[in-house]
Structure 1
Amino acid sequence: MQVREQIIAAALRRLNQDPAASMADLAEAAGVSRATLNRHFAGRDELLDEIGAQALDSWERILDDTGVDAAAASTDPDVHTATVRAVLEGFAASAQEHGWALTSQEVEARPHLRERSERLEDREIVLYAAAQRSGVLRADLPVRWISNTVYGTCVAARESLRRGDVAPRDVARLMAETFLAGTGARP
């Protein structure tokens, strides 16, 4: 692994544990001097831009790998259920690595990252709306509420992992059960 990637990975691990970590803390976590950190990143903003971009890359891969767009075009409730679960499983796995960046207001405040985040969320919303129409998700809830509920379960996963409240192996199940119990269509 190259030094730049080592710094990014270590900084993200540290931020997942301590969102207020300073640049000195991030350099220490990466095992490099502050001068080395500054050679690779002009400042915290540049480092956070890179961490945020990688987190969004992860989110986009999840949407692509789970076939969100094809599922959204389907009318099959089984496809919607399977895809929603797959997305949540992907987010659970990503929460362990990218949890802070995917749920950080500090990252969200960056206009170019926020715009990309909104485009990715829009892809998800089309899936959730299709799942509402097919009876998988509650039709009485605003679709953005459903999307925000997914985001909320990601925050819960991030915090639970950070504090050690849940085992990483349980996160996907907990996210899916929590989400579907609240937003799933009622019998």
Structure 2
Amino acid sequence: MAETTQESATRLRTRTAILDAAIQVFSRDRNASMSDLAVAAGVGRSTLHRYFPERTDVVRAAARHVMHQADAVTRRIDPASRPPLEALHRMIEAHLDFAPAVLWLSTEPLVQDDPALWEEYSATEAAVDGLFLRAAELLHPGLPPAWIKRVMLALLYTAGEAERDGVMTRHETYTAILTTLTDGVLPGAPPRP
């Protein structure tokens, strides 16, 4: 029995290492090969193919892995139980961990075209939508919550690029996101007619 438990733990660690490596590799190069992924995960190609026979299998599993992590973070923050701006700050800080994955997930057709995958993420999506609904009036009255959410995703995407390219540190991207969301890029500028 102990041998089976150890084998299961080893398999789980190997699978997790492959998925974590896939997120990093595909975030840098969405066309990376299975060989590139095996090297990054520190496993042989035969091991990689034993866990994920096809590239599409590892792409979808890595996307689910990221979404499950984001879901766990969102549940831990529990944005509905906090004042909107505090929850927004915590969500931004926590979700910066996923900025490289946002780059990849937002452009990966295998992920975008998989309704079952997005259905699994619907509870988290509802919590995030609720937060933006509550925060919308505090950020800029009149802007639709859906717009603010899209801006936030674009900022996470940009943060991922800036960190990946070495242009900004994580702390700088966090500050830039908050500043952009709360003050805009032209603070004090009169609204356009």
CA drift at 1:87: 0.7
RMSD: 2.4
Aligned residues of 1:51 and 1:101 also touching (Cα < 8 A) = no
- Provide the rounded CA distance (Å) in 2 between the counterparts of 1:109 and 1:13: 21
Q: Please list every run of at least 4 consecutive aligned residues from structure 1 whose deviation after the TM superposition is greater than 6 angstroms.
A: none
CA change 1:147–1:126 in 2 (3 A) is: same
CA change 1:112–1:89 in 2 (3 A) is: same
Please say if 1:147 is aligned against 2:149: yes
Q: Which has the higher contact order (CA 8 A, sep 6+)?
A: 1
CA change 1:116–1:150 in 2 (3 A) is: farther
Partner of 2:181: 179
How far does the alpha carbon of each residue in 1:45-97 deviate from its partner, in whole angstroms, 9 at most, with x for none? 211122111111122122212221223xxxxxxx111111111111113325x
- Provide the rounded CA distance (Å) in 2 between the counterparts of 1:144 and 1:67: 20
Q: Compare 15-24 and 174-183 and name the one that shifted more.
A: 174-183
TM-score by length of 2: 0.79
- Provide the rounded CA distance (Å) in 2 between the counterparts of 1:118 and 1:147: 15
Structure 1: 5+ residue stretches without partners: 72-78
- Provide the rounded CA distance (Å) in 1 between the counterparts of 2:175 and 2:105: 19
Aligned residues of 1:95 and 1:158 also touching (Cα < 8 A) = yes
CA drift at 1:163: 1.4
Residues 46-125 of structure 1: matches in 2 within 5 Å? 46-71=57-82, 79-95=83-99, 98-106=101-109, 107-125=111-129
Larger Rg: 2
- Provide the rounded CA distance (Å) in 1 between the counterparts of 2:69 and 2:143: 28
How far does the alpha carbon of each residue in 1:139-183 deviate from its partner, in whole angstroms, 9 at most, with x for none? 211111111111111110111122111112322222222222239
1:18 to 18, 25, 29: 29
- Provide the rounded CA distance (Å) in 2 between the counterparts of 1:81 and 1:176: 10
Partner of 2:14: 3
1:43 to 36, 54, 59: 54
TM-score by length of 1: 0.81
Partner of 2:167: 165
Partner of 1:32: 43
Percent of residue pairs identical: 24
- Provide the rounded CA distance (Å) in 2 between the counterparts of 1:69 and 1:18: 36
Partner of 2:4: none
- Provide the rounded CA distance (Å) in 2 between the counterparts of 1:155 and 1:116: 22
SS at match of 1:136: helix
- Provide the rounded CA distance (Å) in 2 between the counterparts of 1:62 and 1:115: 18
Structure 2: 5+ residue stretches without partners: 1-9, 189-193
- Provide the rounded CA distance (Å) in 2 between the counterparts of 1:154 and 1:26: 24
